[in-house]
A and B are shown apart, each in its own frame.
Chain A
Amino acid sequence: MARISARTLFLLPVAGFVVLGIIFTIALMTNLSGTAKIDPLPSILAGKPAPELPSQRLEGTGADMSDPLSAYAGRPVLINFMASWCAPCRAEIPALETLSDELVIIAIAYKDKEADLRQFLDEYGNPYASVWMDTDGAIGRRWGIYGVPESFLIDGDGIVRLRHAGPVFSDVINDILIPALEQM
């Protein structure tokens, strides 16, 4: 009996290693097939009132107003941090144009120049209800963005409901934005 238990003892390292090996293999396989479902990092802003917004509007975009949100009180709005120098921001324009039929989209141009921005809108299209300037990036810092494009969904009461880092494509609209809008 004692002999058998000694054998079992010596098999323990193998057993421990097998468990680790299985975890590694499964982890690698799920990584490979891209099916790993990971909760997106929640924004610390979620559930809080929207931080400060810029006051300088790009002339010719939107009606004459002094701040981005007041005209849309009671309606959800998508705040889209973008820049003319950013390639993914060009890529998301077509999807945003589709989305603009259902949702007001407001652009905040992060560290951008007016002339570049106008050229960008002429060339790639303008899905935005209005475009606002964050020339020195101070507003972006207040919102805690870590790059452009990055989007925030604001509900009718001015509360941040959702943050999405990266370009908005049709899958983001269907899987994330529309469900979030339906919940409001």
Chain B
Amino acid sequence: MLAFAEIGHLALFIALICSICQTGLPVFGLAGRYSHSQFLAISRLLQLLATLLVIFSFSALIYSFIVSDFSMALVASHSHSAKPLIYKISGSWGNHEGSLLLWIVILVLFGGLFAATSKHLPDRFSLLTLSVQASVTASFLAFSLFTSSPFERLDIAPLDGRGLNPVLQDIGLALHPPMLYLGYVGLSLAFSMAVAGLIEGNISRQWGQWVRPWALSAWCALTLGIALGSWWAYYELGWGGWWFWDPVENASLMPWLAATALIHSALVVEKRGQLKSWTILLAILAFSLSLVGTFIVRSGLLTSVHSFASDPSRGVFILCILLVATGLPLLLFAWRGPTLSTRSDAGFISRDTALIINNIILVMATAIVLIGTFYPLGLELAVGQRITVGPPYFDATFNPVMAVALIGMAIAPVTMWKSGMLAHARVALIVAAIGAVVAVAIGGGAGVADNAAAMAGLALLGWLGFGVLADMQKRLKFHQPASILARIGKLDGAIWGVWLGHLGMAVFMLGALGDGLGRQEQTIRASAGDVIMLSDRQYRFIEMQQNQGPNYTTRTALLALEELDGTLLGYMRPETRFYPAERQTTTEAAIRPRISGDDYAVLADGDDEIGYSLRLYHKPFVSWIWGGAVIMAIGGLIALSARTTARRTSTNIKQTS
């Protein structure tokens, strides 16, 4: 069974050969001697083969982790026989080499899925798309095999592994990378289709229809992946924050912003035949930004909590991939793009205009994050000075730009294509304005009237939430529940995607504003018996406890959370864990999550003489942040399924007629 890994290694080489052949196929296929369909059949076969081989290879790696084969260098340094099974498995992608292989797995999965579902697309276009996708796959396979092979053996196998890092044994962290990669890499297919379209020099309206499901599914995964990462940081790091504008967080936000623009502009291509060149550019940029993210995490260029593989020679390789995979398509775009331009025939008040504004704003936001992330790097190179760009910059630049987007998110759904607004638009917008006024009034009553940014945020929240709800009410007529199902049946399913996507944003904002404005926090040194007040509740410090875990010792502060009149709400047990074998201390925050807000307690250092340092927070509505992201992703999935159903129906009609 030891040879399992060697077969997996070999499978990767064969997959590389398949991908290289597949990349070259159109060169012969387009020369014209044979029909495209024959070459396409070969290309599909090669794609299928590569997909199976890479999946086999990844299974072999996971198997080596499950059986703790410490003769493999990767297993020896990142696993341990005492780890729970789930973390042995997740350990296989919790490192540079393994996560790179996971990245390739997703790349070939998307390629294989496209090969299997693209029967209704033109042969030439499918052939080109598969070829571009295969070229990306081949680059990453080469990257993996020649600079960071996961299948290296050790001459002498150690008795046990070294990978028992307690911080990394966490379910949020086990799921965050696969989800994020699904998003990053999913964008590769939109990219391949864009490049294929550019090579053909002809983008049809259907192109928008073809590319949107891929972009949508990648966008959903990216949304969830980012939310998972943020949630992990919130409950595990014990800093009480959920977004830090860390370079790597920014690296995942940039493709998300570009992909959000893409799923909107592809709609314009599909419905109106406009914005073609712009949409192509977005498809290229969204994936390029994913590559930039991969590059900065793996080259160690920007220091961050995520930099787990700072090996410069790997950096060079991935920089080459980035330069070729972005540079060539952009040159192609500069050459072919101008011929794709169309003159708009839409009126100013129209969904076309709304979506163009949406795109401009999202691209500006992407640029703002890009500059904020790389300006320090440029400055360091130019004058050798190290600075950090943090929340003040993003508050001043990113937030105002996104505010405009939020205004538009309530307006766009009630506009019509080409020109005009829906009949109920006026009512919906008046309700939205009332919502804004109500939110401002609530904010004023809660005592944030002197904070202009906060008031603007609240106004936007009310505007967006009420605007979307009013649109739903107008179309669904909740006050006539008897016939509501019939109305739902008649609606275009995609509208639910719009509603949930935009409502999810409002829910997210409620969480972000609730935490940002209403957060109460206190850092205090306390001893057993003390009572600490925090907003409308109090913590009674009962005692310190010492406990023995499976491979760690804990110090736990037992706190009773009470209302001010002494009614017990629950016990909070923040603890610090000491892992003697790893000489590592971790902080486990105690969190009491409720819909109305979280209570959050952290125990820091201290002893019985000087007291213990406690950090206590009350964070109103904070869970809504991730709830909003989940709602957005659900909206994306509904839009996706509504599209596939619609396509199937239209194909059926075509076949019967």
Contacts and interface: CB of A to CB of B under 8 A. Distances in A.
A182 interface: no
Contacts of A26: 381
Contact of A37 (B284, B323, B378, B384): B384
Interface in B258-306: 277, 281, 284-285, 288, 292, 295, 299-301
Interface of B: 277, 281, 284-285, 288, 292, 295, 299-301, 312, 315-316, 319, 322-323, 326-327, 330-331, 333-334, 337-338, 341, 370, 374, 377-378, 380-381, 384-386, 605
Contacts of A36: 380, 384
A39 B386 CA distance: 7
Nearest to A111: B583
A11 B334 contact: yes
Nearest to A40: B386
B285 A13 contact: yes
B312 A6 contact: no
Contact of B386 (A20, A24, A32, A38): A38
29 contacts: A7-B338, A10-B277, A10-B333, A10-B337, A11-B334, A13-B281, A13-B330, A14-B330, A14-B331, A17-B288, A20-B370, A21-B327, A24-B295, A24-B319, A26-B381, A27-B377, A27-B381, A28-B299, A28-B301, A28-B312, A28-B316, A28-B319, A31-B301, A32-B316, A36-B384, A38-B386, A39-B385, A39-B386, A141-B605
Given A13-B281, A38-B386, A39-B384, A27 B301 contact: yes
B143 to A, nearest CB: 15
A131 to B, nearest CB: 22
Nearest to B610: A138
Nearest 6 pairs of A and B residues by beta carbon: A10-B337, A14-B330, A10-B334, A32-B312, A11-B334, A37-B384
Interface in A12-56: 13-14, 17-18, 20-21, 23-28, 30-32, 36-39
Contacts of A28: 299, 301, 312, 315-316, 319
Contact of A13 (B315, B319, B334): B334
A6 B278 CA distance: 13
Contacts of B384: 36-39
Contacts of B300: 31
B560 to A, nearest CB: 29
Given A6-B341, A13-B284, A28-B312, 8 more contacts: A14-B327, A14-B334, A23-B378, A23-B381, A24-B301, A28-B301, A31-B301, A38-B386
Query: Chain A interface residue count: which class?
Result: 20 to 34
Interface in A39-76: 39
Contacts of B323: 21
A39 B385 CA distance: 7
B327 A17 contact: yes
B313 to A, nearest CB: 8
A153 B465 CA distance: 59
A21 B328 CA distance: 13
Contacts of A23: 374, 377-378, 381
Contacts of B370: 20
A10 to B, nearest CB: 4
Contacts of A39: 384-386
Contacts of A21: 319, 322-323, 327
A25 B312 CA distance: 11
Chain A interface mostly: helix
A24 B300 CA distance: 11
B318 to A, nearest CB: 10
Contacts of B285: 13
A13 to B, nearest CB: 5
Interface of A: 6-7, 10-11, 13-14, 17-18, 20-21, 23-28, 30-32, 36-39, 141
Contacts of B381: 23, 26-27, 30
Given A14-B334, A20-B374, A25 B281 contact: no
A25 B377 contact: no
Contacts of B374: 20, 23
A41 B536 CA distance: 41
A14 B566 CA distance: 65
B385 to A, nearest CB: 7
Contacts of B380: 36, 38
A141 B607 CA distance: 13
A44 to B, nearest CB: 16
Contacts of A38: 380, 384, 386
A25 B319 contact: yes
A116 to B, nearest CB: 15
Contacts of B385: 39
A36 B285 CA distance: 30
Nearest to B385: A39
A141 B605 CA distance: 10
A24 B293 CA distance: 12
A10 B386 contact: no
Contacts of A32: 312, 316
A30 B312 CA distance: 10
Contacts of A14: 327, 330-331, 333-334
B63 to A, nearest CB: 35
Contacts of A11: 334
Nearest to B375: A23
A14 B333 CA distance: 9
A18 B312 CA distance: 20
B315 A31 contact: yes
A27 B341 CA distance: 37
